[in-house]
Amino acid sequence: MRDETVARNYAETLVEVAERHEGVEVYGDGLDAVARLLDENHSFKVFLETPRIAAGQKKGVVRSVFADVLPAALINFLLVTIDKRRQRLIGEIAQEFNSLVDERLGRIRVEVTLARKMDEASLAELQQRLSGLLGREAIPSVRVKPGILGGVVVRAGDTIYDGSLRRRLDGLRHRMLTTGLPKVGEA
């Protein structure tokens, strides 16, 4: 079975568990925190993913690290991923979980690329306009990339809206180079 399918199945199960217990927001925040810890702490990631370390040791560490911060059912879910040797998929499971929750709540996550940082008021206006454009509540993830020169690039799922100054200048350059101009002396 492909990793995406496995991650999706685990995420669907976790959504059902979350809805029966503390709620999807609590579980989503907790799962995101674990995934972020795995991304940021290479030693912890290697510890969990190394097959030479016994599952019992891994489970003991997970219990002690997360006992006071995560719901018991979420900790049990993490222990099951260790038992089934799927702990390397926790990041993908977190992404799939967030996608499922967003679908159920009518939200969409969008990547917004800007040339420079926006203030909070402008960001709120951008979120409102994106929500209107996409027909769902937009949750922007903003990154700054000076190379686009100005404007904005928005990625919503598989669709990219490129309103960057860089693209406009490249388009203008292309049109100027491909336009047939009369030669000097011809009219």
pLDDT tens digits, 34-59: 999 999 999 999 999 999 999 999 99
If asked whether residues 97 and 9 sit together in one domain, one would say yes
If asked whether residues 26 and 84 sit together in one domain, one would say yes
Instruction: Write out pLDDT tens, residues 76-128.
Output: 999 999 999 999 999 999 999 998 998 888 899 899 998 889 899 988 998 99
- With a pLDDT cut of 70, the percent of the chain lying above it is 97
Residues 6+ apart with CB under 8 A from 140: 109, 110, 111, 112, 123, 126, 127, 130
**18 vs 148 pLDDT, higher one:** 18
Question: Is there a contact between 15 and 101 (Cβ–Cβ < 8 Å)?
Answer: yes
Domain that holds residue 152: 107-178
Q: 108 — phi, psi (to 5°)?
A: -140, 135
Ordered alpha helix ranges (H), the chain: 3-20, 24-40, 42-49, 55-66, 72-83, 90-105, 120-134, 165-178
pLDDT band at 3 (very low <50, low <70, confident <90, very high): confident
**What spatial distance separates the first Cα and last Cα of the chain, rounded to whole Å?**
68
Longest distance between any two alpha carbons in the chain, whole Å: 85
Residues 6+ apart with CB under 8 A from 67: 75
148 has a pLDDT exceeding 90: no
pLDDT at 85: 93
If asked whether residues 158 and 83 sit together in one domain, one would say no
182 has a pLDDT exceeding 80: no
pLDDT band at 187 (very low <50, low <70, confident <90, very high): low
pLDDT at 62: 93
Residues 6+ apart with CB under 8 A from 99: 11, 109
pLDDT at 92: 94
If asked whether residues 13 and 86 sit together in one domain, one would say yes
Section 63-80 average pLDDT: 92
Q: Give the total number of structural domains in the chain.
A: 2
Q: How far is Cα 131 from Cα 37, in angstroms, rounded to an integer? A: 31
| Position 47 in a domain | yes
